């Protein structure tokens, strides 16, 4: 195999030919599906006449080809490389092809494949070329008319994009449905589903009075898991009307749940296809977190109808144009209907752990990359989450009203077009009058900027001088970095009053909470009329995706945790305080010195437990220590054992010191009310379960009793799973093993619950867990062909069990590499994703570095898919 070659943004050219209308006919068969395509093709006005027609195609067997009704001779076209070339074509013509494809051989789950007997498609980014020969790129937008033919008995439901326009019987027990999608779309938004599905249906009237039918299609046994997704969809539709003035544009909106899916979900026009884990919920099978995740993914895919579908990406380098914007939209939606500070805390803790690590590793890339080998590798936290942070900064920079004017302008100016990130930012600049030139650097410069801040209070002159210095570390291919435009939201909290002090900067009164703009490498901000010594509260609400260093003392942090008016920073101050204590304990562990608990952390926790904080969800977050992964992110060199030992020590010390408070919290937050996925109930459950975790950290008798009762009471999956996890993670196999068995037998028929059964076992901290992973890989319910199962077992072990994955004998690494090697053949996209923890080798000690690199080398010696090749090459570069 020749080495896969990168594609460059700078090489972009419009396509030589475009398709204005596509007529497709699918004759479904598991081994030999026939796809007929009639494409209405014309030369692109910006391209020269006489160019050859080049169509992408992969794994297709061509049965016939004709132009304007004339079959082509073999010498008139060529198949090879990435598809089909026809040397001489007219300016405008009809291209007819017929190809054969084999859905049952499709284990990559890209293109047309079968999942639990049903046919479904995944075309983003480049899956349509596995269905038919086509200019498979997002800047070719066509209307589609699709006829699906299948066996009437086994495939009673035949779906595609748009509206159904015709259906009928065919000989041989077959039937067909024809679908028309009047909105021009790129091929990546094409979808087809065929199977024995059942639906729930609802209606929605849009703001302009259009009546829309909403359908959710599932396997019959899942009909009782659809209610929440449908309710979420309607909430999302209303929210987008109220917040962005955007309404739905077809008569029908469908969601289908499939069991085998590489990602969360896909926004195909009018026919969203979802991983069943991202849409199905029931109080007894899904946790609160799963309910909230479903709500946000349903909203995300729905929001794409405007940010992605009506206005799409010119090329895949612009992926964050739709993904960053849409994640920002779904984050705001979730914040509006749940607890906004908790949503922000959750998003930021995840971001600072996982995206920061990506941005500091060998696969770091800008939010708009300038080259790639395999676009499937770029559905990353950087494109999605950092992209969303950038849009959030834009919204804060220009203000809410101008942001809305800018988005209105963007949607109206570019409706029906495939555009670039500049087009979006230009609309924001135009609507606000702001100069966003320097801001654009956020899209092209990779790496997490770090701000070193320090400040001095001048008592005599009542001035506070704040000095900010920025630097962005080098990333692969980018050694020199420029200064970014960084909005820093801040307040000065008076140490006497505990209140935000009025801010006066350069003679201008800014209120008590303001945004300052860091644009230089180093900048000084002099606040005047500062009546008392302040502690600065910086980067409020995480106003920019950066690391902020300020030499806070522990008293400062305890003070901010108690007094900051910004909920996010109050939480963050507690995290920083805990991190300082954890640092000492990590050092103590490494030096073999006795560990001593910092009493200030205990006092801070006691303060939290005693203060009457009314947002229980926020309190639960504040009582949660930074994760091992986030602690690791702060260390110069990751020592997983020391981190685990230090964090365990803090949890146990807090549990011993505050046992009665935790017990009281559990008592106060127990409830017999029927389950509802509502913010108040979710908050109470999370608070109670955090408290229970502390008691179980010391295997307190009362705690063990509560966990067992909570498991047996079987009120909802949130409580059951939490209790079971705590038991399984304890040393008490006498109570854990029977519970695990009961649970496994009870839910053997339910895939989504069994995924949880797999994953909660492999996060056990005990040293025997690797054997458990191996044992579970042999379990009849485990399959490498199901991405959810692979993620539940292997992904969870490698990413969420640092002490055991990083065993010093390298057995964890070996297991992961073995899995990657097998998956490389079956499902390259999932294989490439799974390698991530190995790519972080540089963060560990030399012995582990060597072991990890050896496994990467072993993978590299295989015949690799472009996906795995690209990741491994970067990791070893």
Contact footprint for Zn ion (CB under 5 A): 323, 326
Site string for ligand ARG, 284-313 (x = CB under 6 A): ----------------xx------------
Phi, psi angle pair for 492, to nearest 5°: -115, 115
Pairwise CA distance, residues 859 & 872, whole Å: 8
- Using CB distances below 5 to 8 A depending on partner kind, what does residue 262 bind out of Zn ion, ligand ARG, none? ligand ARG
CB of 254 to ligand ARG, least distance (A): 16
Largest CA distance in the chain: 95
- Using CB distances below 5 to 8 A depending on partner kind, what does residue 802 bind out of Zn ion, ligand ARG, none? none
From 366, 376, 534, 802, residue interacting with ligand ARG (rule: CB under 6 A): 376
Look at phi and psi of residue 507 and say left if phi exceeds 0, alpha if psi is from -120 to 50, else beta: left
Give the residue with the Cβ less far from ligand ARG, 581 or 830: 830
Binding residue count for ligand ARG, defined by CB under 6 A: 14
Give the residue with the Cβ less far from ligand ARG, 160 or 262: 262
The closest of 134, 263, 146 to 193, measured between CA atoms, is 146
Cα distances (angstroms) measured from residue 230 to each of 213, 288, 334: 11, 17, 15
User: What is the crossing angle of helices 421-432 and 387-398, to 10°?
Assistant: 20
Six-digit token string for 421: 């990130």
- Using CB distances below 5 to 8 A depending on partner kind, what does residue 266 bind out of ligand ARG, Zn ion, none? ligand ARG
- Using CB distances below 5 to 8 A depending on partner kind, what does residue 132 bind out of ligand ARG, Zn ion, none? none
Give the residue with the Cβ less far from ligand ARG, 316 or 571: 316
Cβ within 8 Å of residue 319, ≥6 positions away: 125, 313, 375, 378, 379, 383
CB of 619 to Zn ion, least distance (A): 32
The Cβ of residue 264 has, within 10 Å, a number of other Cβ atoms equal to: 17
For 730-786, the DSSP string reads SS-HHHHHHHHHHHHHHTTT-HHHHHHHHHHHHT--STTHHHHHHHHHTSTT--TT-
CB of 305 to ligand ARG, least distance (A): 11
Give the residue with the Cβ less far from Zn ion, 288 or 385: 385
> Which own/partner contact pairs does 456-465 have at CB distance under 8 Å and 24+ positions apart?
457/530, 457/533, 457/534, 459/533, 461/528, 462/528, 462/529, 462/530, 462/531, 463/526, 463/527, 463/528, 463/530, 464/492, 464/526, 464/527, 464/530, 464/534, 464/536, 465/524, 465/525, 465/526, 465/527
Parallel, antiparallel, or unpaired: how do β-strands 83-86 and 53-56 relate?
antiparallel
CB of 318 to ligand ARG, least distance (A): 13
CB of 243 to ligand ARG, least distance (A): 19
CB of 330 to Zn ion, least distance (A): 8
CB of 331 to Zn ion, least distance (A): 12
Cis peptide before 125, with omega less than 30 degrees from 0?
yes
Give the residue with the Cβ less far from ligand ARG, 376 or 491: 376
Judge whether 776 and 782 are in contact, CB under 8 Å. Answer: yes
Cβ within 8 Å of residue 452, ≥6 positions away: 468, 469, 470, 471, 549
Site string for ligand ARG, 815-844 (x = CB under 6 A): --------------x---------------
Q: Is 374 in the site for ligand ARG (CB under 6 A)?
A: no
DSSP state of 502: P
What burial class does residue 824 get, using C-beta atoms within 10 Å of its C-beta: 0-12 exposed, 13-18 middle, 19+ buried? Answer: buried
From 267, 374, 598, 719, residue interacting with ligand ARG (rule: CB under 6 A): 267
Tell me the window of 242-250, 257-265, 335-343, 662-670 that interacts with ligand ARG (CB under 6 A): 257-265
Cβ within 8 Å of residue 287, ≥6 positions away: 717, 718, 721, 722, 756
CB of 111 to Zn ion, least distance (A): 19
Q: Is 266 in the site for ligand ARG (CB under 6 A)?
A: yes
Q: Is 262 in the site for ligand ARG (CB under 6 A)?
A: yes
Give the residue with the Cβ less far from ligand ARG, 263 or 691: 263
Binders of ligand ARG among residues 101 to 140 (CB under 6 A) are 122, 124-125
Give the residue with the Cβ less far from ligand ARG, 256 or 429: 256
Give the residue with the Cβ less far from ligand ARG, 122 or 407: 122
CB of 376 to ligand ARG, least distance (A): 5
The yes-or-no answer on residue 699 being catalytic is: no
Q: Is 258 in the site for ligand ARG (CB under 6 A)?
A: no
- Using CB distances below 5 to 8 A depending on partner kind, what does residue 786 bind out of Zn ion, ligand ARG, none? none
Q: Is 379 in the site for ligand ARG (CB under 6 A)?
A: yes
Give the residue with the Cβ less far from ligand ARG, 273 or 792: 273
Residue 406 CA to its chain's centroid (Å): 25
Q: Which residues are bridge partners to 489 per DSSP? A: 515
Give the nearest residue (CB) to ligand ARG: 379
Pairwise CA distance, residues 277 & 751, whole Å: 9
Residue 335 CA to its chain's centroid (Å): 16
Pairwise CA distance, residues 128 & 189, whole Å: 9
Q: Is 58 in the site for ligand ARG (CB under 6 A)?
A: no
Catalytic residue among 267, 301, 323, 628: 301
CB of 124 to ligand ARG, least distance (A): 4
Q: Is 808 helix (H, G, I), strand (E, B) or coil?
A: coil
Six-digit token string for 543: 């106003």
Q: What angle do CA 797, 803, 805 make, to 5 degrees?
A: 40
Give the residue with the Cβ less far from ligand ARG, 67 or 216: 216
- Using CB distances below 5 to 8 A depending on partner kind, what does residue 379 bind out of ligand ARG, Zn ion, none? ligand ARG
From 39, 155, 258, 263, residue interacting with ligand ARG (rule: CB under 6 A): 263
Contact positions vs ligand ARG (CB under 6 A) = 122, 124-125, 262-263, 265-267, 300-301, 323, 376, 379, 829
Residues belonging to the active site: 301
């Amino acid at each position: 195999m020749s080495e896969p070659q990168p594609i460059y943004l700078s090489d972009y050219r419009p396509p030589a030919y475009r398709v204005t209308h596509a007529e497709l006919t699918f004759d479904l068969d598991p081994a030999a599906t026939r796809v007929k395509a009639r494409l209405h093709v014309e030369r692109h006005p910006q391209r020269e006449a006489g160019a050859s027609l080049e169509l992408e195609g992969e794994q297709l067997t061509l049965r016939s080809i004709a132009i304007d009704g004339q079959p082509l001779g073999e010498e008139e076209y060529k198949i090879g490389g990435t598809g089909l070339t026809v040397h001489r074509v007219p300016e405008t013509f009809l291209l007819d092809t017929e190809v054969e494809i084999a859905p049952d051989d499709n284990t990559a789950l890209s293109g047309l494949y079968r999942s639990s007997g049903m046919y479904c498609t995944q075309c983003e980014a480049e899956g349509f070329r596995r269905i038919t020969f086509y200019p498979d790129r997002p800047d070719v937008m066509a209307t589609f008319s699709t006829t699906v033919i299948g066996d009437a008995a086994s495939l009673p439901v035949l779906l595609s994009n748009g509206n159904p326009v015709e259906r009928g019987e065919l000989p041989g027990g077959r039937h067909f449905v024809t679908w028309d999608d009047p909105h021009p779309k790129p091929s990546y938004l094409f979808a087809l589903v065929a199977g024995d599905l059942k639906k729930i249906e609802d209606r929605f009237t849009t703001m302009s009075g259009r009546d829309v039918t909403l359908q959710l299609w599932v396997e019959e046994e899942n009909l009782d898991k659809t209610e929440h997704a449908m309710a979420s969809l309607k909430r999302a539709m209303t929210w987008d009307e109220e917040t962005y003035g955007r309404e739905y544009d077809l008569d029908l909106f469908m969601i289908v749940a499939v069991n085998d899916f590489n990602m969360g979900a896909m926004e195909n026009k009018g026919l969203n296809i979802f991983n069943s884990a991202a849409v199905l919920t029931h109080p007894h099978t899904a946790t609160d977190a799963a309910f909230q995740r479903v709500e946000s993914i349903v909203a995300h895919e729905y929001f794409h109808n405007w940010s992605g579908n009506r206005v799409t990406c010119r090329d895949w380098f612009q992926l964050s144009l739709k993904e960053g914007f849409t994640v920002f939209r779904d984050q705001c939606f979730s914040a509006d209907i749940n607890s906004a500070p908790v949503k922000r805390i959750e998003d930021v803790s995840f971001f600072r752990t996982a995206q920061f690590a990506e941005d500091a590793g060998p696969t770091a890339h800008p939010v708009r990359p300038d080259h790639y080998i395999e676009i499937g590798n770029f559905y990353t936290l950087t494109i999605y989450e950092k992209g969303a942070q950038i849009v959030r900064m834009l919204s804060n920079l220009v203000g809410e009203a101008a942001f809305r004017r800018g988005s209105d302008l963007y949607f109206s100016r570019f409706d029906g077009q495939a555009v670039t990130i500049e087009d979006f930012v230009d609309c924001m600049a135009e609507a606000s009058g702001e100069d966003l030139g320097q801001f654009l650097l956020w899209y092209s410069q990779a790496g997490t900027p770090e701000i070193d801040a320090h400040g001095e209070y001048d008592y005599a002159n009542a001035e506070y001088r704040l000095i900010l210095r920025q630097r962005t570390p080098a990333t692969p291919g980018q050694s020199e970095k420029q200064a970014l435009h960084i909005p820093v939201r801040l307040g000065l909290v008076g140490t006497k009053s505990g209140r935000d002090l009025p801010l006066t900067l350069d003679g201008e009164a800014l209120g008590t909470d303001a945004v300052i703009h860091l644009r230089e490498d180093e900048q000084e901000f002099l606040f005047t009329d500062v009546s008392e010594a302040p502690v600065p509260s910086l980067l409020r609400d995480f106003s920019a995706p950066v690391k902020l260093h300020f030499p806070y003392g522990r008293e400062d942090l305890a003070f901010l945790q108690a007094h900051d008016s910004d909920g996010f920073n109050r939480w963050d101050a507690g995290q920083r305080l805990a991190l300082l204590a954890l640092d000492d304990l990590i050092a103590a562990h490494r030096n073999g010195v006795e560990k001593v608990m910092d009493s200030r952390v205990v006092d801070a926790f006691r303060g939290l437990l005693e203060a009457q904080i009314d947002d229980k969800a926020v309190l639960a977050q504040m009582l949660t220590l930074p994760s091992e992964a986030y602690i690791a992110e702060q260390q110069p060199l990751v020592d997983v054992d020391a981190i685990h030992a230090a964090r365990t020590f803090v949890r146990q010390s807090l549990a011993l010191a505050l046992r009665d408070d935790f017990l009281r919290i559990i008592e106060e937050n127990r409830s017999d009310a029927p389950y509802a996925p509502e913010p108040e109930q979710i908050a109470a459950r999370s608070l109670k379960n955090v408290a229970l975790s502390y008691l179980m950290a010391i295997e307190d008798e009362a705690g063990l009793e509560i966990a067992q009762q909570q498991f047996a009471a079987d009120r909802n999956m949130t409580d059951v799973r939490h209790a079971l996890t705590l038991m399984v993670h304890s040393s008490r196999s006498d109570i854990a093993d029977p519970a695990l068995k009961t649970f496994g037998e009870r839910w053997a028929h339910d895939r989504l619950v069994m995924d949880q059964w797999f994953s909660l076992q492999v996060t056990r901290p005990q040293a025997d867990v690797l054997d458990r992973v191996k044992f579970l890989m042999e379990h009849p319910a485990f399959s490498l062909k199901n991405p959810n199962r692979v993620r539940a077992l292997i992904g969870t072990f490698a990413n969420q069990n640092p002490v055991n994955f990083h065993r010093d004998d390298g057995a964890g690494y070996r297991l992961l590499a073995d899995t990657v090697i097998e998956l490389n053949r079956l499902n390259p996209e999932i294989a490439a994703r799974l390698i991530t923890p190995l790519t972080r080798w540089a963060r560990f000690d030399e012995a582990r570095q060597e072991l990890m690199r050896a496994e990467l080398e072993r993978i590299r010696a295989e015949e690799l898919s472009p996906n795995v090749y690209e990741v491994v090459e970067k990791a070893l570069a």
